[in-house]
Amino acid sequence: MKLIIVESPAKSKTISKILGKDYKVIASMGHIRDLPKNSIGIDIENNFTPKYQIAKDKKDLVKNIKENISKSDSVYIATDEDREGEAIGWHIVELSNLHSGDFKRITFHEITPNAIKNAVLNPRDLDLNLIDAQKTRRILDRLVGYLISPIIGKMIYKGLSAGRVQSATLKLIVDREREIEKFIKEEYWTIDADCQSNNEDIKFKAILSENDGYIYKDRDIKTKLEAEKILEKVDKNNFYVENLFSKKLEKSPKPPFITSTLQQIASRILGFSSSKTMSLAQKLYEGISIDGEISGLITYMRTDSVFISEVAINSARDFISNNFGEKFLPKIKNIYKTKDKTAQEAHECIRPTYINKTPDFLKKYLTRDEFRLYELIWSRFLASQMSNAIFDKSTIKLRSNKTIWISSGEIKKFDGYLKVYKIDDINKDIVLPNVKIGEKINILDINTKQHFTEPPSRYTESSLIKTMEKNGIGRPSTYATTISNITKRNYIKIEEKKLVPEKLGIEVIDFLERFFPKIVNIEFTAEMEESLDDVASGKKNWIDILKTFYSPFSLDIKNAKEALPEKELKKFGEVCPKCGSDLVYRKSRFGEFVGCSAYPKCKYIHKTEDKINEEKEVLGVCPKCGKDLVKKRSRFGEFIACSGYPDCKYSKNLEEKDLGVCPECGKKLVVKFGKRGKFVACSGYPDCKHIEKYKK
């Protein structure tokens, strides 16, 4: 028997069907061992040696893997071809006491018959540099999280945590909020003219560009008085065409998706969170059943390379030629180069495995969201191999006395790649009249408009990922997890798709900026990522990286501990029934509670919240148990709940305004909360699944 070990059960099913009965394919279910949860698990004095442990829920699985290995003629490690996958494979080899020659390492970028069979025929050794890079990242993250988090717990409250990448990401969001708070809006004015040619009915708009030799820049006209003084010198009856310009514009297709760009566009166009995008992409990669045959529909989705295989390019060109015609096919193949010099996580872009499997063909086999994401990936890849879109851009330069006015128009002459990738087709033809130099132009009106500068926008998931990528914070495979973590920990909230820092998140950043400035320093975080890339490529030694980091970091830890004041806890007025110590008010991420002052020796928690709720506004009586209803808060916002929680779990929405009735079944519409915030839904759920966008 030939044994293949992969990471996920879905992937094992697909590969098993491809290779047939001569192979047995089993899944490791991700990592089978890791650093322990209850201790730092790193021997710092002994060159940062990690002390790995098998997870309790993986012990039977490890036993099963070992038994299958012992019964097999050949063993293939087929975990993902990135740092995490390489490390998972290494852990399997180590725990199974396999030596070089006892196993074969195989990799593939797509789960298709040709790719899998080719991988089996072309095995390689485990990449120790990738393994060292993953180990270094894991140790760094453990050092930061394990050593800083307890200090934050004492400074703010227990249960908070700090992560190496998540802290730098949170700082971006907090810094943007501070920019918005400090922003002072500035007034400015623009001047334009509504024009019409004497020979045609076409109306067009011209913008003031120059006055008495001065060329206006954005926001140059500061006040209404300035605008009015300019208009005093303009003769509406003396506008004529001073010059004409015309040129052909070509817009080139974008390269196929990599992890970061897929997450950005899926967020902007489809409204998907980065974690949802990656979850859906994982399913498309691992395989979908099509008439009983399971096949992977896209290539590996954790990649920062835009490279496309020659086979995939030729398949796309054949498809374009057959379905759109030769004019949509560039004479020279479109080849893209990865801009990021550190790109190394995989060797191909994200693309469909079979270009002939069009979105329309697959629609009946996919869920709605799987279809939408596949359509995005398919169209972006196909468009990347198509001809440029062509536009005609015309400019009319008008003069009136000493003022110059500019009018520009753009007309699409050839769709090119926009025929397929329609989300880039935002052009609206702006038609200008056929005029001649020297021709007089009728001015219908001259408009002055007041504007105010806008503060920088809060980050969306899309813009945050773009900024993280630009600044080298984390890597594509970590973006979704990082954003998810700081949301779950109530450091940020999502309002109308914007990322807003919570008070707690701001407190954490204030603390880190004071005691651990390097941890939230964007440049330092980026340099650390580059160092990890150097380990992965064999340029640097992983122990040297950790030593360089830990020496100043340990001093910061020492200074932070010495600077922390002893926090006095407010007494509750009763003693602990378990040990006799005073009961005190404490805080957690879930709010205020009463607990024993002898914690952690005594972990008694006072379940009665009556005294805490005395200061809270009573909003009614619980219809279930008769206790007071009070206002509470979760990461989705405020709501009304019973003060007797957790004995009574009654809750309702804070807002009770009349939202009307469901257009599908006639029942009452209510406000609900989801991962992306508030929405309106039918109260008859799950019988009726009607939903609407929430409007304030």
pLDDT tens digit sequence for 298-320: 999 998 889 999 999 999 999 99
Span of 37-46, 94-103, 680-689 with lowest mean pLDDT: 680-689
Taking CA atoms, 216 is separated from 132, 213, 219, 222, 409, in Å, by: 56, 10, 8, 11, 20
Beta strands in 564-636 (DSSP E): 571-575, 582-588, 591-596, 605-606, 618-621, 628-634
pLDDT of residue 607: 60
Biggest CA-to-CA distance, the chain: 98
561 in helix, strand or coil?
Answer: helix
Q: What is the mean pLDDT of residues 46-69?
A: 93
Other CB atoms within a 10 A radius of the CB of residue 639 amount to 16
Q: In the 3-class helix/strand/coil scheme, how is 120-187 assigned residue by residue? A: HHCCECCCHHHHHHHHHHHHHHHHHHHHHHHHHHHHCCCCCCCCHHHHHHHHHHHHHHHHHHHCCCCE
554 in helix, strand or coil?
Answer: helix
Average pLDDT, the chain: 88
pLDDT at 19 over 60: yes
pLDDT of residue 596: 87
pLDDT tens digit sequence for 479-504:
999 999 999 889 999 998 899 999 99
Q: What percent of the chain has pLDDT over 70?
A: 93
Q: What percent of the chain has pLDDT over 90?
A: 63
d(CA 112, CA 300): 12
pLDDT at 655 over 60: no
pLDDT at 636 over 70: no
Q: What is the pTM of this model?
A: 0.76
Q: What is the mean pLDDT of residues 647-663?
A: 70
Q: What is the mean pLDDT of residues 136-164?
A: 88
CB 446 within 8 A of CB 191: yes
pLDDT of residue 606: 75
pLDDT at 645 over 80: no
Span of 127-136, 657-666, 678-687 with lowest mean pLDDT: 657-666
pLDDT confidence band for 620 (50 / 70 / 90) = confident
pLDDT at 343 over 60: no
pLDDT tens digit sequence for 258-272:
999 999 999 999 999
Residue owning tokens 């059960």: 9
Span of 217-226, 365-374, 473-482, 509-518 with lowest mean pLDDT: 473-482
Q: What is the mean pLDDT of residues 671-680?
A: 69
pLDDT at 671 over 80: no
pLDDT of residue 609: 47
pLDDT of residue 425: 80
pLDDT confidence band for 612 (50 / 70 / 90) = very low
| Bridge partners (DSSP) listed for residue 634 | 637
Q: Is 300 a catalytic residue?
A: yes
pLDDT of residue 683: 77
Catalytic residue (one of 76, 300, 374, 550): 300
Rounded to 10°, the helix 274-286/9-19 angle is 20
pLDDT at 253 over 80: yes
pLDDT at 693 over 80: no
pLDDT of residue 633: 60
pLDDT at 600 over 80: no
pLDDT of residue 610: 44
Span of 186-190, 193-197, 524-528, 620-624 with lowest mean pLDDT: 620-624
